[in-house]
Chain A
Amino acid sequence: MQFTSEASEHLVCAVLAAQVAELRDRIDGSATVELLWRTSEVLMQLSDLVRELATRCHDSELQAQCTTVVAAEAEVSRSIESLAFEQAQRNDFTCQTVDCVVTALERLAVTDGPVGNRISPDELAALYVSEEQRKVHDAATRRFVIGVSPAPTGGDCHGDERPGG
């Protein structure tokens, strides 16, 4: 298929948006979180059984071992629950970050708007959901400004690399 160079760039953006959206669905870690919860529940059930075993047996050494195992299970289960909670939040953060990229690429893929009006750096920044994204944006903007700045002439001072605004 032949496209004009502009249509070709729109197509690239549309394809990238679709690919990143696909990637977002793959990195959704909800299955991991659910597995961690299930693991925690099974451990608790096993712990209940061990506790029951301790009440029924008359071997003091085995009872002591059961007590140790029950205490260890409680600690491990707490850690697993905490890990699952953290994983769910990190997953949410990642998906929201990737959503911004998908939205920006979809805007760039729109064919009925004039070039340069599809999404501006400020509109991109308005999509952000975290301070981390803004820091990356600022760092990338600084690098870009340095990259497109005219070569320094004699006597110019470039001590401050921050772009205006």
Chain B
Amino acid sequence: MPSILVLDDSATMVMSLSRVLKKAGYDVETAGNGQEGMSKLAAGLKPSAILTDLNMPQMDGIAFIKEARKSASTRFTPIIVLTTESGGQKRDEARVAGASAWLTKPTEPNELLSTLKQLLPK
């Protein structure tokens, strides 16, 4: 079963995303910010895909993506940005950092799941 690492500093968002993903059959691991996400990856977590917010304390989403791309285990892991940001500049920053896809909140469960499906290996 594919596993998804979810990063968001909002507890309600983490619960909501976990619920949608679990109902769709995914295993879910969560982190409250980029630093916590990196700690989980360093501890050996190998998610099939990563879903991250941008604006988080301690380590934001862009910094997290840059760090994750440095690691051999997550160099090619699909990373989806899910954020309130809709600005082109942030989107470019995320793409340059290594983001695979971008979704702006509010998005619908189906849009999230279809984006994941497209990015995960068949």
| Interface set of A (CB-CB < 8 Å, partner B) | 28-30, 33, 37, 81-82, 84-86, 88-93, 95-96, 129-132, 134
CB neighbours (8 Å) of B54 from chain A are 129
Q: Is the CB of A92 within 8 A of B84?
A: yes
How many inter-chain contacts with C-beta < 8 Å in the A-B complex?
Answer: 65
18 sample A-B contacts, Cβ–Cβ < 8 Å, listed by A number: A37-B19, A81-B19, A82-B108, A84-B19, A85-B19, A85-B108, A86-B106, A89-B13, A89-B84, A89-B106, A92-B12, A92-B105, A93-B84, A129-B54, A129-B55, A129-B84, A130-B86, A132-B86
CB neighbours (8 Å) of A131 from chain B are 85-87
CB neighbours (8 Å) of B106 from chain A are 85-86, 89-90, 93
- B contact face: mostly helix, strand, loop, or mixed: loop
CB neighbours (8 Å) of A132 from chain B are 86
- Residues facing A in B74-104 (CB within 8 A) are 83-87
> Contact size class for B?
20 to 34
Q: Is the CB of A30 within 8 A of B11?
A: yes
| Interface set of B (CB-CB < 8 Å, partner A) | 8, 10-13, 15-16, 19-20, 23, 54-55, 83-87, 105-109
